[in-house]
């Protein structure tokens, strides 16, 4: 069965997900960090793009209360960690590959250079799912069938988010609207890629909202075309 797929992002008022100097989601509040951990504690697996690993180097290792929450829910202490990296640019030294009891996966293509494949094979389970680009339908199938993932959390970045929307795979969005203006023509937004034509725009429906100081926590259900 297809896993339920949630996407989580923090955006500035002008839709940016990082800053001109590449500070990533650090513009979001402490309350947003808490919300991220709570939502992670529902997920069997987390998937990101190589760009996010290179920029932010997350560990995806849970501690204390959030680890306990996972165990109470019958989940593994840490989520499965997965990265999409068609060219194998994700560094094998990234913190997501440090052993923490959870499998680390790389979804790549037949195009990956032999030296990158060899390096990544030392630290992760590799799945080649596409000739030159990663086929996200296969990624989701593998996560569901081989790794028994029922709830998958997508944590960006902009390129991976677009690919998943284009593939029609996202079920819900957790968005934090942060009271900040970042600007910058070249600063990334939450959905990058080639973008959608008018007739292909993805529609969403607001199902939850909460205001904490000037930050708004939103949850949307994604419409299926």
Site residues for ligand NAP, 95-154, by CB under 6 A, read 109, 133-134
Cα distance between residue 196 and residue 167, in whole Å? 12
Q: In terms of CB distance, is 28 or 75 closer to ligand NAP? A: 28
CA quadruple 121, 50, 35, 161: dihedral, nearest 10: -120
33-72 binders of ligand NAP (CB under 6 A): 48-52, 55-56
Per the CB < 8 A criterion, the answer to whether 7 and 147 are in contact is no
Query: Which of 7, 45, 75, 86 lies at the binding interface for ligand NAP (CB under 6 A)?
Result: 86
Distance from first CA to last CA of the chain, Å, rounded?
A: 20
Q: How far is the CB of 135 from ligand NAP (least distance, A)?
A: 8
Rounded CA-CA distance 91/122 in Å is 12
Does the protein bind ligand NAP through residue 81 (CB under 6 A)? no
Q: What is the C-alpha to C-alpha distance for residues 177 and 142, in angstroms, rounded to an integer?
A: 32
Figure out which of the listed residues 104, 120, 143, 160 binds ligand NAP, where binding follows CB under 6 A. 160
Which of 3, 5, 7, 24 binds ligand NAP (CB under 6 A)? It is 24
- Report the residue number, 10 or 75, with the smaller CB distance to ligand NAP: 10
Residue nearest to ligand NAP (CB): 157
* Selected range binding ligand NAP among 21-29, 62-70, 141-149, 216-224, rule: CB under 6 A: 21-29
Pairing of strands 125-128, 104-108: parallel
Nearest to 84 by CA among 120, 39, 30: 120
| 79 vs 86 by CB, closer to ligand NAP | 86
79 lies in the site for ligand NAP, by CB under 6 A: no
Task: Return the H-helix or E-strand segment holding 48.
Answer: strand 45-49
- C-beta of residue 209 within 8 angstroms of C-beta of residue 218: yes
Sites of contact with ligand NAP (CB under 6 A): 9-10, 17-18, 22, 24-25, 48-52, 55-56, 84-90, 109, 133-134, 155-160, 163, 188, 192
């Amino acid at each position: 069965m297809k896993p339920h797929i949630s996407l989580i992002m923090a955006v500035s008022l002008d839709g940016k997900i990082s800053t001109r100097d590449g500070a990533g989601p650090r513009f979001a509040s402490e309350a947003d960090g808490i919300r991220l951990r709570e939502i992670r504690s529902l997920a069997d697996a987390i998937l990101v793009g190589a760009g996010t690993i290179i920029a932010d180097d997350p560990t995806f290792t849970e501690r204390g209360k959030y680890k306990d929450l996972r165990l109470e829910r019958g989940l593994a202490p840490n989520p499965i960690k997965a990265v999409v990296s068609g060219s194998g640019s994700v560094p094998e030294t990234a913190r997501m590959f440090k052993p923490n009891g959870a499998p680390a996966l790389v979804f790549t293509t037949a195009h990956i250079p032999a030296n990158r494949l060899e390096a990544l094979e030392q630290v992760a389970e590799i799945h080649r799912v596409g000739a030159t680009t990663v086929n996200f339908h296969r990624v989701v199938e593998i996560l569901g069938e081989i790794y028994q993932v029922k709830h998958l959390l997508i944590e960006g970045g902009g390129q991976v988010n677009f690919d998943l929307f284009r593939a029609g795979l996202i079920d819900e969005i957790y968005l934090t609207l942060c009271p900040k203006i970042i600007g910058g023509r070249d600063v990334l937004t939450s959905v990058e890629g080639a973008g959608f034509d008018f007739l292909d725009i993805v529609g969403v429906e607001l199902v939850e909202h909460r205001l904490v100081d000037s930050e708004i926590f939103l949850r949307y259900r994604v419409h299926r075309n």
